[in-house]
Structure 1
């Protein structure tokens, strides 16, 4: 089956760019990571799988990402990207959905699953960076980063994947509103599969395991790939991801 593309208009005049493969449900929805887009290796691999298997699949770019509109620094909050994901799910997905969230997308997927408990039937989380603004950035920010935030409201955080990432004060403060790791259990009870690299320099495997242990449901499988990095985009990683999806789609 072919893949269609389009734009979803938002109330503030911005638009979210999406691509869709029509097929049988449940619809698999891709939620990308921080500063990533829907052209990445894993997102494209899922599109190829969906076409070959006749599965329904939807991917999109958050505002400020990829082909969607909006300035990253202005639109860059967890509140905004959660709203983007909910808008896509509400307006473009009929029936049950399986959310596949990578890195920050794993956090967004959890927030969406909590808000749409009747529709989200399963989660696949790849190196899930739950609460990353608070637990993985703010706590490890160097003195020069804190000075930049205080003076300019933004810190350009060095990245192994290209240009520095702009980390804004607004992003850090807003992220605290959506924290899910803490004293209470995370109220998600759908089947959840977590794929995590032990050699991930960005999301320590113990951080992902903390999320797995906090989920309220019992059908949670945590897979630790000993030589896996953060992206988990190697052929063997993609094969593992597709195997998990096949399992969940058949439930």
Structure 2
């Protein structure tokens, strides 16, 4: 595996990334993968999409948010706004022309923030178990009074079946995210959107995807529910659905 390259952001964070340049001029939109909470760019979906993009001769970018993977910083110091800034920096600096964002879990929320900020650069969006506003609607809303008191003092630990160690949730993560919520005000997505969601996902249940579908304003938005698929959404059949969604969006994009 080659070593990553690094981009230094305006906030002096060093963001690790791997990139496939376009194989020819005018090939149409590139693809950017945005990972989930405490995940990295070496996951199954990211590597699968990189192989697919290489075979297609299509530009592709995957990266680690600060405090994740090989990027600088500590995870506990980060927040949604920081990771949004990281994503915005790599997309605006490292890519040219329209891009299709593929956001997994938290990456779905980050993708929506990016799309809201630079809609003219976005050719489409694929959300995989997208988790907009999860810090407020999933974490904070489910905390007991004791957990809320513990968080007020600084942090609280949450167990997860997807990690060997508990997730440590900081007060800053919860409070900073309240300025980044996307389901409280109109959300215009003026491009094709494909949402993919497993019915057996216990971290981001299907109700979240349904809420996002109802809330977003898009001329072309489809939600695909996959019976029995969990939050990883990484079986061969699920991975194929991701590239099918990409091909569907690309078929509608000029110069693809």
**Matched residue, 1:216:** 217
Moved over 4 A (4+): none
**Matched residue, 1:112:** 114
CA RMSD after TM alignment: 1.5
Equivalents in 1 of 2:193, 2:11: separation in Å?
A: 34
Normalising to structure 2: TM-score of the pair?
0.93
Is there any run of 5+ residues in structure 1 with no aligned partner, and where? none
Q: Choose which of 47, 52, 70 in structure 1 pairs with 2:50.
A: 47
Is there any run of 5+ residues in structure 2 with no aligned partner, and where? none
Q: Does 1:18 align with 2:17?
A: yes
Deviations 1:190-224 (A, max 9, x none): 10000001111011101111011111113000001
Deviations 1:136-170 (A, max 9, x none): 1000113442232123x111111111211111111
**Matched residue, 1:82:** 84
Equivalents in 1 of 2:187, 2:162: separation in Å?
A: 31
How many corresponding residue pairs? 247
Deviations 1:65-89 (A, max 9, x none): 0000001111x21110110011011
Equivalents in 2 of 1:15, 1:226: separation in Å?
A: 39
Equivalents in 1 of 2:3, 2:159: separation in Å?
A: 35
Equivalents in 2 of 1:195, 1:12: separation in Å?
A: 33
Deviations 1:58-107 (A, max 9, x none): 00000000000001111x21110110011011100100100000000001
Normalising to structure 1: TM-score of the pair?
0.94
